[in-house]
Amino acid sequence: MATVLYITAHPLDPEESFSLAVGKEFIEAYREANPTDEVVRLDLYKENIPQFDADVLRGWEKLRSGSSFDQLSEAEQSKVARLDAIVDQYVAADKYVYVSPMWNFSIPPVLKAYTDATSIPGKTFKYTKDGPVGLLSSKKALHIQASGSVYSEGPLAEVEMGYSYLKKILQFYGIQSMEAIFVEGTASSERAPAAIKEEAIAHAKEVAKSF
Ligand SMILES: Cc1cc2nc3c(=O)[nH]c(=O)nc-3n(C[C@H](O)[C@H](O)[C@H](O)COP(=O)(O)O)c2cc1C
C-alpha cells in the first residue's frame, strides 16, 4: 500500500479552477486504480506552513549551537516543530501529486513556502564530501499546472518557472520520475478552454492508471 500526498496550492474550488478540476479527476481515477492506497490531501491554503522568518532561523541556529528544544522561545518551538512535522510527513509518503496554477510564470507563494519546508538537509537530501545527494530516489511525482498561455513548447518555454522549478527541486531530492500534465493555453484565442480542459482530464485519467 502506497501513500500519496495530494498537494494543492489553489485558494478556489475545482469548479473555478482548471488545475484543481484536472487534479480532482486524476485523484478519482487514481483511487479507482489503487483502492488500497492512502491518499492524503494537503490543501496548502488551509495548512499552517511557517515561512522561514526570524523565529525559524534563530530557532534552528540555537539548536545547531547546542541549545535544547526547551531553550527555544515559544514561537521558535512551535514553528520549528511544525516544520519538522511537515517534512516528516513528506518523507513518509511514496508519491506526490502537486496541483497549482501558474502565477507570474511560477508557482503560488504558498507552494514555495511548502517547498522550502520540504527542502531540509538530513531529510530530503544530505550533504556529502562530493556535494548534496538526494534521499528520495525511490519516490515519484506528478505536477498538474494550469496556465493561460502555452509554456510546454514554443516561444514562452524559456520563461516557464513553475513546473521547471518544482522538477529541479524534486531532482535535488533524488526523485527521478516526475510527470507533468499541463492545462495550458486557456487564455489564448486559438482553442476553446473547455476542449483544453477535457483533453487534460483524458490525459490525467491515462496517467492515473500507471502512476
Ligand atoms: C495572479 C495571476 C497571475 C497569472 N500569471 C500568469 C502567467 O504568468 N502566465 C500565464 O500564462 N497565465 C497567468 N495567469 C493565468 C492563469 O495561469 C490561468 O488562469 C490558469 O488557468 C490558472 O489556473 P487555475 O485555472 O487552476 O486557476 C495568472 C493568473 C493570475 C490570477
| Residues in the annotated binding site for FMN | 17-19, 102-105
The minimum-distance atom of ligand 1 relative to the CA of 147 is: 17
CA of 102 to the centre of ligand 1 (A): 5
| Total of domains in the chain | 1
Cell 506552513 -> residue: 49
Domain enclosing residue 111, as ranges: 3-210
Mean pLDDT of the chain: 97
What gap in Å lies between CA 71 and CA 12, rounded to an integer? 40
Q: Cα(128)–Cα(209) distance, rounded to whole angstroms? A: 37
Segments of the chain with pLDDT less than 70: none
Q: What is the dihedral of CA 156, 158, 162, 165, to 10 degrees?
A: 170
Number of the ligand 1 atom closest to the C-alpha atom of 186 = 21
Contact 86, 44 (CB under 8 A): no
Binding residues: 17-19, 102-105
Task: Specify the CATH number for the domain of residue 199.
Answer: 3.40.50.360
| pLDDT at residue 190 in the model | 83
Instruction: Give dist(CA 123, CA 134) in Å, integer.
Output: 9
The pLDDT assigned to 12 comes to 98
Q: Which H or E element spans position 127?
A: strand 125-128
Distance from residue 20's CA to the centre of ligand 1 (Å)? 13
* Ligand 1 pocket residues where CB is under 6 Å: 10, 17-20, 101-105, 146-149, 186
Rounded to whole angstroms, the Cα distance separating 15 from 22 reads 10
